[in-house]
Amino acid sequence: MHDTLQRLFQFKAWANDELLTALAGLGRESPITGLAVKALSHTYVVDRIFAAHMMRKAHAYSSANLSEMPTLEDLSADIRKCDREYIDYVAVLDRGQLAEQIDFAFTDGVPGRMSREEMLMHVITHGVGHRDRSARSCCSIPSRRRKDGFTTYLHEAEASMRRRTAA
């Protein structure tokens, strides 16, 4: 599972980068950009909240949504940094750490308990839907359609192993 988690977080970083790059191409005045920033800032906050839970540290978020939206540029930098931190974090975890049960409180104060591995899987799966909705809006123009699935990532990142030439 450890190798799979590493690949999933590398995929997450790749898919986020693809989308953020496409959004930057639309320009900050595009209404699509504003909607995407709302969705992606939510996933960023959830990523940060769960990172704090896994490290047993407090976080400053009282909600999974920001009251003030960042610029696309600032959010892009934050997401890319967060993705790198998760890739580095997952790389050093052992089976015992993945299985460790962690008590925490959701932002509404309700107590929770999940293993570190469950939290990591939540971080991976939570962002997929938000990223997909943003990508569909951003890429509704045929010339901007993108492929951001895990299979596309694998065949680009591991082209020689997948019997493909690098793009």
Nearest Cα neighbor of 132 from 154, 147, 152, 118 is 147
Q: Is this prediction's pTM over 0.75? A: yes
Q: CB-hemisphere CA count at 13 Å for 124? A: 18
Residue 164 has pLDDT above 90, yes or no: no
| Across 7-16, 35-44, 60-69, 137-146, least confident range | 137-146
pLDDT tens figures, 92-112:
999 999 999 999 999 999 999
Instruction: Show the tokens assigned to 64.
Output: 């999974």
User: Residue 158, Cβ neighbours under 10 Å: how many?
Assistant: 12
Residue 137 has pLDDT above 80, yes or no: no
Residue 114 pairs in a beta bridge with: 102
Residue 143 has pLDDT above 50, yes or no: no
Whole-angstrom distance, CA of residue 23 vs CA of residue 33: 6
pLDDT tens figures, 66-82:
889 999 999 999 999 99
Contact 104, 53 (CB under 8 A): yes
Question: pLDDT over 70 for what percent of the chain?
Answer: 80
